[in-house]
Amino acid sequence: MAKTLTEMDLRDKRVLVRVDFNVPLDADRAVTSDARIRAAAPTIEAILAAGGRPVLMSHMGRPKGQVIEELRLKPAGQRLGEVIEAPVRYSDTCVGDAAIDASKALEAGEVLMVENLRFHAEETAGEDHFAAQLAQLGDVYVNDAFGTAHRAHASVAGVPKYLPSCVGLLMARELAAFERVLTVPDRPLLAILGGAKVSDKLPLISNLLDQVDQILIGGAMAYTFQKQAGLNIGTSMCEDDLIGAAAEARAAADNKGVELLLPTDHICAAEFQADAVASTHGPEIPDGLMALDIGPETVQRYCQAIAGAKTLIWNGPMGVFEMPSFRAGTQAIAQAVADSDAWTLVGGGDSVAAVELLGITDRMGHVSTGGGASLELLEGKVLPGIAALES
């Protein structure tokens, strides 16, 4: 088991924290969603309260070893300063004497944010000498970057070789939430899976079949299953090369006694456009139309299933929820999830965005800060960032 923050002696230490401040910025470089910054704040506050001096490192975007002005971390550091109401200093480099000096110059109560790790190609390459350079910024290492725990990058998998290491509070909270649904869930355990592509979700379905009692499928990925069942899908999105895999998933579900529910009606349109004329059809989709959301009958069936669950995993929207005409399905499912007594884990970038858009974040058991990382955990994989802290 990885150590936790409270097991570490932090007093007067420089505490090097890997955070995931890969947050969206607008054209004026203002942070448009500070969810990841707020989620990491308790760890930073706990380090300050224990007399430690937090030195924060993160990536932003994918600059591929180049310095890109738009991807500097200064705005994220400033936003953190507002959130924790403490001085956050900034170093425009993450390695070398200037960064080391800045870490040593920190006074009690101050925080240092160093520059985007991915301005150096050695970070994503996971190079050991770069990890050793980063390790010079701290006396202790804390990994609180759940969203990046699936990357075997230098700051994630390399630095813990050089410093006493532990998980941060956010990382611990994330791991506990996934453990709660994947090891000893209150049953029935139901997974609501959506999103565009079956290809993204097949490994997830295959792992979840060993854990869950029921799977509800929505989003464009449903239409590969619908075509496999021999039903007309019009011009709906479909991954033809995965029809065989969809059939295997259904057979595996049958074998394991897992009920796999598919949409029986659909909100359709002739074009993938916000102002397209919407009409309801089902179970078959007429020629020339594509399904862009689940229909009212499906919503009713799914809401009934949700109401009977004790634990829920939600990954992926039911339709094109960004467009108001095709939002009702996702909205109704979100409402049913919020109204149910079940403990809910929301994982995956798009379902998190849907929950935020609908303003029901507070009614979920846990809303993950990880997209790719949460998918990999639900697929049953070991995350390199966690493995590095355990060894």
Q: List the single partner that 376 binds among Mg ion, ligand 3PG, none, CB under 5 to 8 Å by kind.
A: none
Is the distance from CB of 21 to CB of 76 less than 8 angstroms? yes
Please confirm, yes or no, whether 36 is among the known catalytic residues: yes
Strands 189-193 and 88-91: unpaired
From the candidates 38, 89, 180, 197, which is the catalytic residue? 197
Does a cis peptide bond (omega within 30 degrees of 0) precede residue 188? yes
Please confirm, yes or no, whether 349 is among the known catalytic residues: yes
Distances (CA, A) of 359 to 222, 351, 356, 362, 364: 26, 12, 5, 8, 11
Q: Which two tokens stand for residue 206?
A: 């295959």
| Alpha helix stretches (DSSP H) within 209-295 | 222-228, 243-256
Q: Residue with the closest Cβ to ligand 3PG?
A: 22
Nearest CA-CA partner of 124 in 96, 156, 98 = 156
Q: What residues from 62 to 121 belong to the interface with ligand 3PG (CB under 6 A)? A: 62
Please confirm, yes or no, whether 180 is among the known catalytic residues: no
Among 197, 372, 379, 387, binds Mg ion (CB under 5 A): 372
Rounded distance, CA 262 to CA 231, Å? Answer: 12
Q: Residue with the closest Cβ to Mg ion?
A: 372
200 contributes a contact to Mg ion by CB under 5 A: no
Q: Find the part of the chain contacting ligand 3PG (CB under 6 A) among 132-140, 144-152, 203-211, 382-390.
A: 144-152
CB nearer ligand 3PG, residue 13 or residue 151 = 151
Burial (0-12, 13-18, 19+ Cβ within 10 Å), 6: exposed
Among 138, 371, 384, 385, binds ligand 3PG (CB under 6 A): 371
Nearest CA-CA partner of 324 in 291, 361, 265, 278 = 278
From the candidates 349, 370, 371, 385, which is the catalytic residue? 349
- Tokens 């002739």 correspond to 270
22 contributes a contact to ligand 3PG by CB under 6 A: yes
- Count CB neighbours of 69 within 10 A: 6
From the candidates 36, 53, 72, 79, which is the catalytic residue? 36
Among 14, 20, 192, 202, binds ligand 3PG (CB under 6 A): 20
Q: List the single partner that 22 binds among ligand 3PG, Mg ion, none, CB under 5 to 8 Å by kind.
A: ligand 3PG
Backbone angles phi, psi at 334, to 5 degrees: -60, -40
Rounded distance, CA 54 to CA 16, Å? Answer: 6
148 contributes a contact to ligand 3PG by CB under 6 A: yes
CB nearer Mg ion, residue 265 or residue 350 = 350
CB nearer ligand 3PG, residue 58 or residue 235 = 58
**Which residues does the annotation mark as catalytic?**
36, 197, 349, 372
By the criterion CB under 6 A, which residues form the site for ligand 3PG? 20, 22, 62, 147-148, 151, 371-372
By the criterion CB under 5 A, which residues form the site for Mg ion? 372
